[in-house]
C-alpha cells in the first residue's frame, strides 16, 4: 500500500459517545485522560505507563487480507496468518532503527489524539526506517474489537538533549467502555 495511491477501506463515522477506557486481550487497560492523552496500565506487571499523546487501532489480519489492493502482497510482506502478521508488525515497531508514524492521506505526521480526530480522511501507520517507508497500513481512529492498539508520543529527553519517540504496538481490543 502506498501513499501515492491511497485507498480508503474503513470510512468512519465518529461516535458522539466519549471513550472512557479500552481493555485488551492480555489485560492491559488504556484510559482516556481529560488532557487528550491515553495512559496504559498493564495488569500482568501491575505497572502504569507514562501518558501517550496518540493512539490508533491496527486492523486484524483478515481485515487487511480482504481489503488490501492486489498490488500489495499480504502473504509476502505481512505473513500468511494472524500470528505471522503480528510478529511482523512487532518486529517492525521494536527493531532498532525502525520508524513508525501516524500520518494522514498526504503523508503529514499526526502527533496527537486531538489531531487524529480532526482528520477527515483515512489515516495510516507507516513502517520503515528514517530514510524510507517500506509500507503503511490504514488504521482506525476509534477502537474496534479485535484491532490492535498502537500508541506513541514524541518528547524531549533533557538528559540526552535530543527528541525521542516512544511507540508501542499492543494487543487486540477486547472491550470498550464509554463515559456515561
Asked whether residue 46 is domain-assigned, the answer is: yes
- Taking the C-alpha atoms of residue 5 and residue 9, their distance in angstroms, rounded to an integer, is 13
pLDDT above 70 as % of the chain: 91
Reported pTM:
0.89
pLDDT (tens digit per residue) in 111-163: 999 999 999 999 999 999 988 999 999 999 999 999 999 999 999 999 999 99
Instruction: Give the chain's domain count.
Output: 1
Q: Counting every residue, how long is the chain?
A: 180
pLDDT band at residue 16 using 50, 70 and 90 as cut-offs: low
Does a structural domain hold residue 166? yes
Mean pLDDT of 166-175: 97
- Percent of the chain's residues with pLDDT above 90: 87
Secondary structure E strands in 25-161: 28-32, 38-42, 47-48, 54-58, 102-103, 123-128, 133-139, 148-157
Q: Is residue 1 part of a domain?
A: no
Contact call for residues 31 and 38 (beta carbons, < 8 A): yes
Domain presence at residue 163 = yes
Enter the C-alpha cell of residue 124: 495510516
Is 9 domain-assigned? no
Phi/psi zone of residue 120: left (φ > 0), alpha (ψ -120 to 50 degrees), beta? alpha
Give residue 129's domain range.
19-178
In this prediction, residue 180 has a pLDDT band, given cuts at 50, 70 and 90, of confident
Q: Are 137 and 59 in contact (CB under 8 A)?
A: yes
Q: Is residue 5 part of a domain?
A: no
Confidence grade of residue 6 (pLDDT, cut at 50, 70, 90):
very low
In this predicted model, what pLDDT tens digit does every residue of 55-66 receive, in sequence order? 999 999 999 999
**Residues in CB range of 51: below 8 A, 6 or more apart:** 33, 35, 37, 38, 39, 153
Examine residue 14 and state whether it is found in any structural domain, yes or no.
no
Whether the per-residue pLDDT at 53 is higher than 50: the answer is yes
Average pLDDT, the chain: 91
* Average pLDDT estimate for 21-43: 96
The residue-averaged pLDDT of 13-23 equals: 76
pLDDT higher than threshold 80 for residue 171: yes
| 65 is a domain residue | yes
Amino acid at each position: 500500500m502506498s501513499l501515492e495511491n491511497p485507498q480508503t477501506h474503513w470510512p468512519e463515522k465518529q461516535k458522539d459517545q466519549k471513550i472512557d477506557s479500552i481493555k485488551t486481550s492480555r489485560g492491559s487497560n488504556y484510559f482516556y485522560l481529560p488532557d487528550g492523552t491515553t495512559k496504559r496500565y498493564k495488569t500482568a506487571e501491575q505497572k502504569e505507563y507514562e501518558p501517550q499523546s496518540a493512539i490508533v487501532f491496527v486492523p486484524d489480519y483478515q481485515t487487511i487480507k480482504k481489503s488490501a489492493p492486489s498490488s500489495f502482497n499480504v502473504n509476502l510482506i505481512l505473513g500468511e496468518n494472524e500470528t505471522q502478521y503480528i510478529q511482523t508488525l512487532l518486529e517492525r515497531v521494536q527493531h532498532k532503527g525502525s520508524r513508525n508514524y501516524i500520518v494522514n492521506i498526504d503523508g503529514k505526521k499526526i502527533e496527537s489524539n486531538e489531531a487524529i480526530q480532526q482528520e477527515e480522511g483515512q489515516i495510516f501507520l507507516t513502517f520503515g526506517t528514517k530514510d524510507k517507508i517500506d509500507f503503511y497500513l490504514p488504521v482506525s481512529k476509534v477502537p474496534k474489537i479485535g484491532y490492535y492498539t498502537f500508541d506513541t508520543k514524541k518528547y524531549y529527553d533533557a538528559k540526552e538533549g535530543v527528541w525521542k519517540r516512544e511507540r508501542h504496538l499492543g494487543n487486540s481490543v477486547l472491550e470498550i467502555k464509554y463515559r456515561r
